[in-house]
């Protein structure tokens, strides 16, 4: 464990050091990430100025729902950035280098790829939203709720990590997975920003069974908010995010192990 | 020659095969449209039944034209690629099965792909490498000091890599691959794009290291001078198959009987009727001729007298064929090596 | 001119080499539409109209802006990559106008996305979402012309930001910020009708509403004779103004490049 931590810090130090070679660029990039994500919120806010609620959720409740996405994603990119951009690692031959080092492949990928500035952009946004909204939606915090919240966040990170571990494994067969990610992650995330209940049955099933974003934010948020639209789903769905996260990750991990042998490296020289 | 008989094999490869599936893209608008619905593939045998073994401490040049399969072989040897079939054992491990344990014993230098960060100094990158390989502090310190000196890196080891010359960067990269004291080092085109002086520094260093530390080295390159100046043994691979495996001397010997005389004549007309030679123009004045022949058929003396007796010669030079030319002939099947 | 058109053609064809991308591209565009459709369906909650705007007007406006963003689906780091790799100098030696060539290549790529991603999306969308039929053939034609003008406005804004890569280390952050502004202020995220009045009147002084909203209004037949002329004039004004600005940054960038010796 100490060994892993020291490796993590060694990577983090060199990563930050190289990023801060270009200080102005680093600041602009962080701000840009922050603004890009805030863009969706601004659009939501403007729309709600006109319409007041969406499926009975007011703006504060929506922001609470939103905040879970950003907080989990902010942590996600600390650990899973390399998997998010794994096609690039393959295309540029960087994965060859990972294979040449005497450490677990995922250990290296998880520890080394953090984009700290983007994490800061997303994380700050998530925390700001959380602080604003959590007080206004009237949550009565107690230790059990705090524990639930932490577990929900970890599960959310794990679910997203598992999704990208699947994509990364697919990169061993077809290098270019940009469109897949676009559809099965980024577009699904656009859906997840709003309450699950506003979508038709088909999209709901995708968000529950295929790309289970519902367990990243909707069901955990319902645990705190108990909105009326939860009546459409069994109550225990609010409690199984960790199970979903761990199961999905294990599935993705076995697929990864299986797919590794199909790695072609770049160029067939 | 070092103790070839007593040295044990550190690399053992038998009947290695690797095939890639290649998507054949159709051309033109119609072809592109057809490609969507009916993609066509073809199978390419990148490595086809290759066997060889290498002794501990040996230094082997691995050459072949582009796409010959040398990189694929190296990548299988270093644990990156799974072979389709065949056995291999390197340093007591099966690379693709025991990757994690195995790679602690090897170092790999890619001339085309640096392992040190562009924005950091070599020293910063070495720090990370130290953690990854769990190099004991004492060993790290010693190796770092030694390679800094041998590779003459003192002046730039703290500068960001983006400010270094290509030659400096490559030296920093070579040191990075050696910090954990590997038993085997693979060099994949380590001198590519580097100027003559830089190339020489690198070759000398590699040669020295091989002799003093008994590190086994595999060297792929396009530059035959790399091989000539460093290796004793040569493996030539083409189309996935091994064409030659033996000493560099033998290659030269096998084709060593051919000579080229380049002669500049005083005046025209020149009438050369030589039965055992091929004559061509060496420039467009018509006065300079290139005469190629084999000493098996006619000696240099005889050829020279034949020329001198019939013509007045202003200048003359006799050359042995260059290794590059020999290798090219081997690739193109003009000579078969056994 | 035919030469520049052939640049567009080559780019169009080269995009066809990636067959996996067609199907996924359609799905992608479709999903983006479904997100907006679902959100506004829930917001409308069965109401026939809000502030005189019907649900079908909203979906139609999203579809048109989606078409234009599909057309604008391009690599905005292009110029920076060329400069960083140092290949820009070679490009400048070629006897073609680099900027025009870039515009036409991008249009070729855009045409690919419109034909292979956007049009299938429109057809599928018609099955489940209310899409307003155009008010007449004349409106369709006017809308098409204004879409192209809107595209050029969008392209020029992007070019201006890209041209800063002569001075800045990386323009990625600025491009991202620009895209956020375009998406919100030009009405790709929220239809212009629902913006607060103060914001809407502020936007009227910027090039943003000539990107998506002018084509939308023309398609829906919301503009009368004089207004049509006025809106086209505004689009043309912004094209000229932005071209001049872009040209300024481009030229000073090139000058810098020459002084530094590439």
Q: What is the DSSP string of B191-214?
A: TTT--HHHHHHHHHHHHHHHHHH-
Report chain B (338 residues): mean pLDDT per 10 consecutive residues: 61 92 70 69 87 93 85 92 93 93 94 86 93 94 95 92 90 95 93 88 90 91 84 88 85 70 79 74 77 77 81 80 71 58
pLDDT value at position B33? 66
Answer whether C38 sits within 8 Å of A198, measured CB to CB.
Answer: yes
φ, ψ dihedrals at B265, nearest 5°: -90, 155
Indicate the pLDDT class of residue A65, thresholds 50, 70 and 90.
very high
CB-based contacts of A108: which residues, under 8 Å, 6+ apart? A98, A101, B132
Give me the pLDDT at residue B1, please. 42
- Distance (Å) from the alpha carbon of A256 to chain B's nearest alpha carbon: 15
Mean pLDDT of chain C: 87
Q: Nearest-CA neighbor of C20 among A182, B232, A268? A: A182
Contact A196, A54 (CB under 8 A): no
Q: Is the pLDDT of residue A152 over 90?
A: yes
Chain C neighbors of B29, CB-CB under 8 A: 13, 16
Q: What CA–CA distance (Å, rounded) separates B266 from B261?
A: 16
Do B33 and C17 make contact, defined as CB atoms within 8 angstroms?
no
Residues of chain C with pLDDT > 90, as a percent, come to 42
C196 touches chain A (CB under 8 A): yes
- Mean of pLDDT values over C6-17: 81
Residue from the list C28, C34, C176 with its beta carbon closest to the beta carbon of A203 = C34
pLDDT band at A220 (very low <50, low <70, confident <90, very high): very high
Label residue A138 by pLDDT band (50, 70, 90). confident
Which of the two residues, A236 and C87, has the higher pLDDT score?
Answer: A236
A32, A43, A199: residue with CB nearest C173: A32
Partner-chain residue, chosen from C39, C176, C183, that has the shortest CB–CB distance to A194: C39
Rounded to two decimals, what is the model's pTM?
0.83
CA distance B29 to chain C (A): 6
CB contact (8 A) between residue B100 and residue A103: yes
Task: Tell me how crowded residue C192 is: count the other CB atoms within 10 A of its CB.
Answer: 22
**Cβ(B40)–Cβ(C21) under 8 Å?**
no
Secondary structure class of A90 (helix, strand, coil): helix
**pLDDT value of position B321:** 67
Q: pLDDT tier at C199 (50, 70, 90 boundaries)?
A: very high
How far apart are alpha carbons A123 and A72 in whole angstroms?
8
Beta strand B184-188 pairing with B106-110: parallel
Any long-range contacts for C159-163 (C-beta under 8 Å, 24+ apart)?
Answer: C159/C79, C159/C99, C159/C102, C159/C246, C159/C250, C160/C242, C160/C245, C160/C246, C160/C249, C161/C76, C162/C76, C162/C77, C162/C78, C162/C79, C162/C80, C163/C79, C163/C246, C163/C249, C163/C250, C163/C253
Closest CA to A138 of A58, A47, A38: A58
CB-CB under 8 Å, A198 with C42: yes
Range name among A210-214, C41-45, C69-73 with the lowest pLDDT average: C69-73
Residues of B with CB under 8 A from a CB of C: 25, 29, 32-33, 35-36, 39
Nearest residue, CB atoms, A268 vs list B46, B110, B127 = B46
**Distance between CA atoms of A76 and A184, rounded to whole angstroms?**
16
Q: What DSSP string runs through chain C? A: -HHHHHHHHHHHHHHTT-HHHHHHHHHHHHHHHHHHHHHHHHHHTT-SEETTEEHHHHHHHHHHHHHHHHHT---TTHHHHHHHHTTHHHHHHSSS-HHHHHHHHHHHHHHHHIIIIIHHHHHHHHHHS--PPPS-HHHHHHHHHHHHHHHHHHHHHHHHHHHGGGTSS--HHHHHHHHHHHHHHTTSSS-GGGS-HHHHHHHTTSGGGGTTHHHHHHHTT---HHHHHHHHHHHHHHHHHHHHHHHHHHHHHHHHHHHHT-
Residues 6+ away with beta carbon under 8 Å from A234: none
Task: Please tell me if residue C202 touches chain A, with a CB cutoff of 8 Å.
Answer: no
Mutation target for B interface from A102, A112, A114: give the one with most B CBs within 10 A.
A102
Vertex A103 angle, CA A175 and B120, to 5°: 75
pLDDT bracket for residue A37 (50, 70, 90): confident
Confidence of residue A268 (pLDDT cuts 50, 70, 90): very low
Q: Is A4 helix (H, G, I), strand (E, B) or coil?
A: helix
Residue C18 confidence (pLDDT) above 90:
no
Please give the pLDDT value at position B32. Answer: 64
Whole-number Å distance between alpha carbons of A252 and A160? 11
Say what the pLDDT of residue B298 is: 79
What does the block give as tokens for C45? 């909650």
ipTM given for this complex: 0.85
Q: Do C35 and A187 touch (CB under 8 A)?
A: yes
Report domain extents, chain C: 2-255
**Helix A2-19 / helix A105-112 crossing angle, nearest 10 deg:** 40
Residue C63 CA from chain centroid, whole number: 13
Closest by Cα among A151, A112, A244 to B125: A112
Cα-trace Rg, chain A:
19
Average pLDDT over residues A216-220: 96
Q: Where are the domains of chain A?
A: 2-260
* Spatial CB neighbours of A86, under 8 Å, sequence gap ≥ 6: A95, A109, A164, A167, A168, A171, A177
Q: What does each C-alpha distance from A261 to A170, A250, A253, B99, B100 come to in angstroms? A: 12, 18, 14, 12, 15
| Apex C257 CA angle, C254 and C262, nearest 5 | 135
Q: Count the alpha carbons within 13 Å of B52 in the hemisphere toward its beta carbon.
A: 24
A157-198 confidence digits (pLDDT tens)? 999 999 999 999 999 988 778 888 888 998 899 899 999 999
The nearest CA of chain C is from the CA of A27 a distance in Å of 9
Six token digits for residue B15? 């009947």
Is residue B119 within 8 A of residue A21, CB to CB? The reply is yes
Do residues A187 and C35 touch, judged by C-beta distance below 8 A?
Answer: yes
Predicted pLDDT at B7: 63
Residue closest to A264 by CA, chosen among A178, A180, A166, A173: A173
Q: Are C218 and C143 in contact (CB under 8 A)?
A: yes
The C-alpha of B69 sits at a distance from chain A's nearest C-alpha, in angstroms, of 5
pLDDT tens digits along C235-257: 999 999 999 999 999 998 888 87
* Residue pair B91/B169 in contact by the 8 Å Cβ criterion: no
Decide: B75 and A265 in contact? Cβ < 8 Å: yes
For the beta carbon of residue B226, count every other beta carbon within 10 angstroms: 23
Mean local confidence (pLDDT), A105-126: 86
Cβ–Cβ under 8 Å, residues B84 and B17:
yes
Strands B313-319 and C49-50: unpaired
A5: chain B residues, CB-CB within 8 Å: none
Residue from A29, A41, A51, A191 to probe the interface with C (highest C Cβ count within 10 Å): A51
Q: Please name every residue paired with B14 in a beta bridge, in sequence order, or none if there are none.
A: B87
pLDDT band at A14 (very low <50, low <70, confident <90, very high): confident
In whole angstroms, what is the distance from residue C71 CA to residue C181 CA?
18
Please state, for a pLDDT cut of 70, what percent of chain A lies above it. 99
- C176/A49 touch (CB, cutoff 8 Å), yes or no: no
Tell me if C210 sits within 8 A of C232, measured CB to CB.
Answer: no
Residue with tokens 């590059």: B324
* Comparison of pLDDT for A64 and A114, the residue scoring more: A64
Sign of CA dihedral B205, B209, B210, B216: negative
Q: Verify whether the Cβ–Cβ distance C16 to B32 is below 8 Å.
A: yes
Mean pLDDT of all residues in C107-116: 89
| Residue C39 contacts A, CB cutoff 8 Å | yes
User: Inter-chain contact B25–C17, Cβ cutoff 8 Å?
Assistant: yes
Cα-only R_g, chain B: 25
Residue of B nearest to C116 (CA): B33
Residue B98 backbone dihedrals phi, psi, to 5 degrees: -120, 45
Question: Comparing C-alpha atoms, which of B52, B54, B72, B53 is closest to residue B217?
Answer: B54
The CA angle C41-C44-C47, to the nearest 5 degrees, is 120
Highest mean pLDDT among A106-120, A157-171, C169-183: A157-171
Q: Measure CA of the first residue to CA of the last residue in chain A; give whole Å.
A: 40
Per-residue pLDDT, averaged over A40-68, amounts to 92
Supply the DSSP symbol for A228.
Answer: G
Give the per-residue pLDDT at B228: 83
Report the C-alpha gap between C53 and A51 in whole angstroms.
13
The label of the residue with tokens 């066809």 reads C16
Residues of B in contact with C22 (CB under 8 A): 36
């Amino acid at each position: 464990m100490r060994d892993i931590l020291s490796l993590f810090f060694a990577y983090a130090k060199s990563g930050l050091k190289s990023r801060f070679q270009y200080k102005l660029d680093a600041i602009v990039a962080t701000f840009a990430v922050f603004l890009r994500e805030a863009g969706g919120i601004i659009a939501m806010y403007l729309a709600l100025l006109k319409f007041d609620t969406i499926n009975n959720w007011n703006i504060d409740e929506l922001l609470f729902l939103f905040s879970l996405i950003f907080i989990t994603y902010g942590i996600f990119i600390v650990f899973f950035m390399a998997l998010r951009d794994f096609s690039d690692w393959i295309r540029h031959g960087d994965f060859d280098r990972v294979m040449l080092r005497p450490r677990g492949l995922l250990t290296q990928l998880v520890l080394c790829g953090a984009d700290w500035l983007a994490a800061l952009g997303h994380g700050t946004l998530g925390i700001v939203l959380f602080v604003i909204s959590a007080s206004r939606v009237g949550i009565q915090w107690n230790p059990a709720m705090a524990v639930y919240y932490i577990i929900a966040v970890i599960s959310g990170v794990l679910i997203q990590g598992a999704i990208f571990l699947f994509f990364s494994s697919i990169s061993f067969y077809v290098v270019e997975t940009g469109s897949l990610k676009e559809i099965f992650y980024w577009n699904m995330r656009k859906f997840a920003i709003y309450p699950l209940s506003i979508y038709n049955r088909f999209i709901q099933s995708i968000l529950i069974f295929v790309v289970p974003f519902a367990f990243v934010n909707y069901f955990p948020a319902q645990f705190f908010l108990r909105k009326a639209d939860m009546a459409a789903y069994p109550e225990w769905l609010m409690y199984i995010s960790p199970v979903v996260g761990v199961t999905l990750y294990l599935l993705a991990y076995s697929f990864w192990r299986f797919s590794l042998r199909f790695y072609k490296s770049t160029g067939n020289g | 020659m070092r103790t070839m008989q007593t040295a044990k094999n550190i690399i053992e490869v038998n009947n290695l095969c690797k095939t890639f599936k290649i998507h054949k893209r159709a051309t033109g608008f119609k072809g592109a449209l057809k490609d969507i619905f009916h993609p066509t593939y073809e199978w390419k045998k990148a490595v086809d039944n290759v066997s060889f073994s290498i002794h501990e401490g040996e230094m082997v040049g691995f050459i072949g034209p582009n796409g010959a399969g040398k990189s694929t072989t190296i990548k299988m040897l270093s644990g990156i690629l799974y072979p389709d079939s065949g056995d291999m054992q390197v340093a007591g491990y099966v690379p693709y099965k025991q990757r994690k344990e195995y790679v602690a014993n090897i170092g790999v230098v890619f001339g085309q792909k640096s392992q040190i960060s562009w924005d950091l100094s070599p020293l910063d990158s070495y720090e990370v490498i130290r953690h990854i390989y769990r190099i004991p502090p004492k060993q790290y310190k010693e190796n770092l000091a030694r390679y800094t000196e041998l590779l003459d890196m003192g002046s730039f080891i703290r500068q960001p890599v983006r400010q270094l010359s290509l030659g400096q960067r490559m030296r920093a990269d070579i040191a990075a691959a050696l910090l954990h004291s590997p038993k085997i080092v693979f060099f994949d085109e380590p001198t590519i794009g580097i100027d003559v002086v830089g190339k020489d520094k690198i070759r000398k260093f590699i040669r020295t290291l091989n002799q003093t530390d008994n590190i086994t080295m595999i060297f792929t390159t396009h530059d035959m001078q790399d091989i000539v100046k460093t290796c004793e043994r040569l493996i030539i691979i083409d189309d996935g198959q091994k064409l030659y495996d033996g000493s560099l001397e033998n290659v030269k010997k096998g084709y060593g009987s051919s000579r080229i005389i380049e002669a500049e004549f005083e005046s025209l007309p020149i009438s050369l009727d030589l039965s055992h030679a091929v004559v061509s123009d060496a420039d467009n004045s018509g006065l300079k001729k290139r005469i190629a022949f084999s000493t098996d058929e006619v000696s240099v003396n005889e050829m020279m007298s034949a020329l001198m007796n019939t013509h007045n010669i202003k200048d003359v030079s006799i050359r042995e064929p260059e290794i590059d030319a020999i290798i090219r002939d081997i690739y193109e099947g003009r000579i078969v090596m056994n | 001119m035919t030469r520049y058109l052939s640049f567009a053609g080559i780019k169009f064809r080269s995009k066809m080499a990636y067959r996996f991308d067609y199907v996924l591209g359609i799905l992608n565009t479709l999903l983006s539409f479904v997100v907006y459709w679902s959100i506004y369906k829930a917001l409308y909650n069965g109401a026939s109209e809000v502030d005189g705007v019907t649900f079908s007007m909203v979906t139609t406006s999203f579809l048109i802006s989606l078409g234009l963003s599909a057309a604008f689906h391009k690599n905005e780091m292009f110029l920076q990559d060329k400069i960083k790799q140092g290949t820009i100098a070679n490009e400048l030696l070629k006897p073609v106008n680099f900027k025009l060539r870039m515009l036409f290549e991008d249009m070729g790529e855009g045409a690919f996305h419109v034909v292979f991603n956007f049009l299938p999306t429109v057809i599928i969308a018609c099955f489940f979402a209310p899409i307003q039929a155009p008010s007449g053939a004349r409106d369709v034609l006017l809308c098409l012309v204004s879409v192209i003008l809107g595209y050029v406005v969008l392209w020029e804004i992007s070019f201006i930001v890209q041209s800063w890569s002569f001075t800045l280390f990386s323009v990625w952050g600025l491009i991202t910020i620009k895209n956020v502004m375009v998406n919100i202020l030009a009405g790709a995220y929220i239809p212009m009708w629902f913006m607060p009045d103060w914001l809407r009147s502020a936007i009227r002084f910027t090039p943003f509403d000539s990107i998506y909203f002018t084509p939308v209004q023309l398609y829906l037949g919301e503009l009368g004779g004089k207004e049509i002329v006025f809106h086209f004039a505004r689009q043309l004004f912004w094209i000229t103004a932005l071209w001049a600005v872009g040209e300024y940054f481009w030229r000073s960038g090139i000058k810098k490049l020459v002084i530094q010796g590439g």
